[in-house]
Amino acid sequence: MKIDLAVLHRQYDLHAAEYDAAALRALRSGWYIMGPELSAFETEFAAYTGAAHAVGLNSGLDALTLSVRALGIGAADEVIVPANTYIATVLAVTENGATPVFVEPDVHYCIDPDCIEVAITPRTRAIMVVHLYGQAAAMPAVMEIAERHHLFVIEDCAQSHGAHFGDTMTGCFGHVGCFSFYPTKNLGAFGDAGAVVTDDAVLAEKIRMLRNYGSKEKYHNELCGVNSRLDEIQAALLRTKLTHLSALTEERREIAAKYHAGIKNEHIHLPEVREGAEHVYHQFVVRTSSRDHFKEYLHAHGIETVIHYPIPPHLAECYAYLGHTRGSFPRTEQYANEVLSLPIFNGMRTDEITYVIDIVNGYRPSVPQCVMQKGHR
């Protein structure tokens, strides 16, 4: 059996007629940029998250970058970021001239609040939190630290559409929440797209201006902006998919529950769910100290996997100037050497799930290794 990490056309197939109708509606309207579909999607997505405002953008990276810029963070400033994240989180900081200050992750792969406070300096302006793999970070603890030190909180929600901590959805704890709608996301467009949500009307208006060359009125440019507009076709498609997001999320949770119940292998560490949080399983990430061998074993049995992420940002070539070396963030580097994402996607068949479980349970390391323990070894 051949199983890919994700099969996007199956999600399309689930509601193909609705997606086709939405795309045609936008195409036939004759209005393709900054029109009624975008306005409606922004209203609907804000309502879904519980935020007062949503602003559609071209990508998740633009959502992060423009949020940092709109908060007035620049060259003299530092932003605390998780060391265990995709590089886009960090690029949003450096694109604005600010300095990223890395902090180690907790057992749930998100930023560890216990490590944040020691990283705060007089130059710190914000904490950027990533709800990695679909699970909310420890937001009450993060917010308490931020409020005490008068810091902005920017939430990277690229992987956490619909995830909650307590009664609050990710994106609605901090000053601004930043979403990606890249096609593989739980709420994915059929191309590039992103958005921010916020309760701050002034901040929302500033980001609206920044996305459109820094102007409210054509040819009157008040800010140095960019071109980062969510087009009408993607907005129409996202409106359709948003109506199904709760069901799509529940399907992912059901697949994850089958993995949790079925995978019984002492060499494989399964993801842990944070107390008080609701996981939406953008990825189902396992760990093993023989990760590369495990990945090859799965590939040989037709199961495709991906490492999220093999090179931590502090070791990326583009950030060599920051002076970090291997060993600077050992917990992050351990995760980079051990994590592996198993297939999980909407439309995944029961026989495929069972096959993955059976193959994972049959895995044995090529050389003796310590049995994986919960938490950090």
Q: What confidence tens digit (pLDDT) does each residue in 184-199 have?
A: 999 999 999 999 999 9
Q: How many angstroms separate the first and last alpha carbons of the chain?
A: 34
Q: What is the pLDDT of residue 102?
A: 99
| Contact present, 350 and 3 (Cβ < 8 Å) | no
Q: What is the DSSP string of 152-220?
A: EEEEE-TT-TT-EETTEETTSSSSEEEEE--TTSTT--SS--EEEEES-HHHHHHHHHHHBTTEEETTE
Radius of gyration of the chain (CA): 21
373 or 19, greater pLDDT: 19
| Contact present, 124 and 101 (Cβ < 8 Å) | yes
Is the pLDDT at 373 greater than 70, yes or no?
no
Q: What is the pLDDT of residue 1?
A: 94
Q: Topology of 11-101+109-242 in CATH?
A: Aspartate Aminotransferase; domain 2 (3.40.640)
Mean pLDDT, range 281-303, rounded to an integer? 99
- Give the pLDDT band of residue 376 (cuts 50, 70, 90): very low
Please list, in sequence order, all residues whose beta carbon lies within 8 angstroms of the beta carbon of residue 361, skipping any fewer than 6 positions away.
Answer: 262, 263, 264, 265
Mean pLDDT, range 307-324, rounded to an integer? 98
Is the pLDDT at 6 greater than 60, yes or no?
yes
* Residues 245-361, CATH architecture: Alpha-Beta Complex (3.90)
Is the pLDDT at 377 greater than 70, yes or no?
no
Is the pLDDT at 307 greater than 90, yes or no?
yes
pLDDT tens figures, 54-98:
999 999 999 999 999 999 999 999 999 999 999 999 999 999 999
Is the pLDDT at 369 greater than 70, yes or no?
no
Instruction: Enter the DSSP assignment of 133.
Output: G
Q: What is the pLDDT of residue 371?
A: 46
Provide the 3-class DSSP secondary structure of residue 62: helix
Q: What is the pLDDT of residue 366?
A: 78
Mean pLDDT, range 266-286, rounded to an integer? 98
Closest CA to 90 of 312, 333, 338: 312
Question: Which residues in 62-78 are b (16+ Cβ under 10 Å) and which e?
Answer: bbbbbbbbbbebeeebb
The domain limits of the chain are: 11-101+109-242, 245-361
| Contact present, 44 and 67 (Cβ < 8 Å) | no
SS3 content of the chain, % helix, strand, coil (to 5): 40, 20, 40
Q: What is the pLDDT of residue 367?
A: 61
Q: In the chain, pLDDT over 90 holds for what percent of residues?
A: 97
pLDDT, the chain, mean: 97
Q: What is the pLDDT of residue 251?
A: 98
Mean pLDDT, range 272-295, rounded to an integer? 98
